[in-house]
């Protein structure tokens, strides 16, 4: 049995405390499941010591947290003691980037077990999940062709799908948790900027960066949120589907999608309405100017350029060409222009927030396009449009200061997973997660709706050709 077949995190926490399973046993199974290239770094000796410490605490009835003994993967932007931080670069970054911040420290204090550090797009600046410096993790949902796993947290979703982790830490600036979660058939939470500290994480955009989590189900996300959130409140409000107002904005969010994406989302929304939810049209005139700002580069590129040109100049010669292309004219942006773009975004966000509060939750496809074959995004000319489209829906929530969850609801015409994105105003994560739980209970988990990825079945990974 693989970790994909394991009980929920809630059930495993009980089983660990009863001695029915052990942290070392879960780790052994996790290590044996690594076969799709999710990890860039692993320290098995350290993981074994962590599992032994967790088992000792469990045996003494002194488990320090909800995540004690749970195998986790951590995106290679986070500082983790005993493991280098590369941020997608060919060589490790300076040692100061190995220092853990509050999110990783919380996991370690709860005696979670770190299986390894997962692949990322270089400096998290891309949505496809590709990186010329390290082999791209394999999206398990196509048995025959290599497809993009989604980025920038490219290894995170794959680690969950293959069963080498039960919880994955990612980061999300414009979609880097939600895109890989959606494209690998998992759930993901993008927190509001400022809710969780980003200390100890290599920055892309100090303005928009957020720490987030990916898991197999929304219920597992809720457990992780309760364990990590500094507010420390594990209780979520009660949300019922009956009477729940789901806002649908067809402007931008439902446009230009790959075949089967909108259909899968509409099928899920129809099912929710049959169970008592109400689907209401929602005007969000702020989306199009926000999208235009994103297309112009906003200020994220300028913030990354500042990091590279001041603290990490040694990394400039080895920039991924796709990352370098997206930096564009960031070096030429004046301080006044960056400030003007921030001010424009602040105004758009304030207006959009008022519109969003006319409904209970905003619904949309998480990602507009199906995961492309890697051969289809092998050139700068083909990469750019696909990357832009995959970031479109997720970036709107990020730029407008909202929090969002993605959960799997079906497959598109190519047989690849489709995510439903639920979006709420900033700092309303408990209500958002409670709503997502109600949706998951009505629709079923990804395992129910999607089945097992072809490359993760009992026959083992299939041969792949690009």
- List, in order of start, the domains of the chain with CATH numbers: 7-456 (3.90.1300.10)
Instruction: Kindly report the backbone phi and psi dihedral angles of residue 175, in degrees, each rounded to the nearest multiple of 5, phi listed first.
Output: 145, 10
Pairing of strands 71-75, 167-171: parallel
pLDDT at residue 414, as a whole number: 98
Respond yes or no: is residue 176 known to be catalytic: yes
3-class secondary-structure state, position 411: strand
Respond yes or no: is residue 197 known to be catalytic: no
Residues 6+ apart with CB under 8 A from 235: none
Question: Residue with structure tokens 């990783």?
Answer: 104
Q: Are 404 and 394 in contact (CB under 8 A)?
A: yes
pLDDT at residue 458, as a whole number: 58
Among candidate residues 373, 172, 130, the one with its CA nearest the CA of residue 258: 373
* Active-site pick, 73, 117, 152, 258: 152
* Active-site pick, 153, 161, 164, 176: 176
Q: pLDDT of 390-447, one tens digit each? A: 999 999 999 999 999 999 999 999 999 999 999 999 999 999 999 999 999 999 999 9
Q: Is the pLDDT of residue 459 over 70?
A: no
Q: Is the pLDDT of residue 463 over 60?
A: no
Banded model confidence at residue 357, pLDDT cuts 50, 70, 90 = very high
Residues 6+ apart with CB under 8 A from 45: none
* 419 Rama sector, left if φ>0, alpha if ψ -120 to 50, beta otherwise: beta
Respond yes or no: is residue 75 known to be catalytic: yes
Q: Are 66 and 9 in contact (CB under 8 A)?
A: yes
Q: Is the pLDDT of residue 460 over 50?
A: no
Average pLDDT of the chain is 95
Burial annotation 64-82 (CB, 10 A radius, 16+ → b, else e): ebbbbbbbbbbbbbbbbee
pLDDT at residue 233, as a whole number: 65
Q: What strands, in cross-sheet order, belong to the sheet with 187-190?
A: 39-41, 113-118, 71-75, 167-171, 211-215, 187-190, 403-411, 417-424, 361-365, 245-248, 278-281
Among candidate residues 408, 414, 441, 286, the one with its CA nearest the CA of residue 352: 286
Q: pLDDT of 151-180, one tens digit each? A: 999 999 999 999 999 999 999 999 999 999
* Active-site pick, 75, 154, 161, 258: 75
pLDDT at residue 51, as a whole number: 98
Q: pLDDT of 46-93, one tens digit each? A: 999 999 999 999 999 999 999 999 999 999 999 999 999 999 999 999
């Amino acid at each position: 049995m693989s970790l994909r077949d394991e009980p929920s995190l809630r059930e495993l926490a009980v089983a660990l405390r009863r001695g029915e399973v052990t942290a070392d046993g879960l780790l052994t199974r996790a290590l044996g499941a690594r076969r799709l290239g999710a990890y860039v770094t692993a320290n098995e000796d350290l993981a074994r010591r962590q599992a032994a410490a967790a088992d000792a605490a469990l045996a003494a009835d002194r488990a320090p947290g909800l995540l004690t003994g749970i195998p986790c993967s951590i995106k290679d932007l986070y500082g983790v003691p005993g493991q280098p931080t590369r941020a997608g670069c060919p060589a490790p970054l300076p040692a100061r980037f190995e220092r853990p911040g509050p999110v990783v420290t919380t996991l370690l204090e709860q005696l979670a077990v770190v299986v390894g550090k997962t692949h990322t797009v270089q400096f998290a600046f891309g949505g496809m999940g590709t990186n010329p410096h390290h082999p791209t993790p394999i999206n398990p949902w196509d048995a025959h062709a290599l497809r993009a796993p989604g980025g920038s947290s490219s290894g995170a979703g794959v680690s969950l799908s293959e069963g080498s982790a039960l919880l994955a830490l990612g980061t999300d600036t414009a979609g880097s948790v939600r895109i890989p979660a959606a494209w690998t058939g998992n759930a993901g939470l993008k927190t509001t900027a400022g809710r969780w500290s980003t200390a100890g994480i290599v920055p892309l955009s100090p303005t928009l960066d957020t720490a987030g989590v990916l898991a197999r189900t929304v219920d597992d996300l809720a457990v992780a949120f309760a364990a990590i959130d500094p507010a420390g409140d594990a209780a979520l409000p009660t949300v019922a589907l009956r009477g729940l107002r789901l806002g649908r904005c067809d402007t931008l969010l439902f446009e230009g999608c790959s075949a089967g994406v909108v259909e899968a989302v509409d099928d899920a929304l129809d099912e929710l309405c049959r169970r008592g939810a109400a689907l209401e049209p929602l005007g969000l005139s702020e989306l199009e100017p926000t999208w235009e700002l994103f297309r112009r580069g906003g200020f994220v590129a300028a913030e990354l350029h500042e990091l590279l040109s001041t603290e990490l100049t040694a990394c400039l010669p080895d920039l991924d060409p796709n990352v370098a292309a997206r930096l564009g004219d960031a070096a030429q942006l004046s301080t006044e222009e960056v400030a003007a773009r921030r001010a424009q975004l602040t105004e758009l966000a304030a207006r959009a927030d008022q519109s969003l509060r006319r409904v209970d939750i905003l619904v949309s496809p998480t990602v507009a396009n199906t995961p492309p074959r890697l051969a289809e995004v092998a050139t700068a000319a083909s990469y750019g449009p696909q990357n832009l489209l995959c970031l479109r829906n997720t970036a709107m929530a990020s730029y407008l200061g909202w929090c969002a969850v993605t959960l799997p609801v079906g497959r598109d015409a190519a047989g690849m997973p489709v995510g439903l994105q639920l979006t709420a105003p900033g700092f309303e994560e408990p209500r958002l997660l409670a709503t997502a739980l109600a949706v998951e209970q009505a629709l079923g988990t990804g395992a129910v709706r999607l089945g097992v990825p072809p490359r993760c079945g009992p026959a083992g990974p299939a041969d792949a050709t690009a």
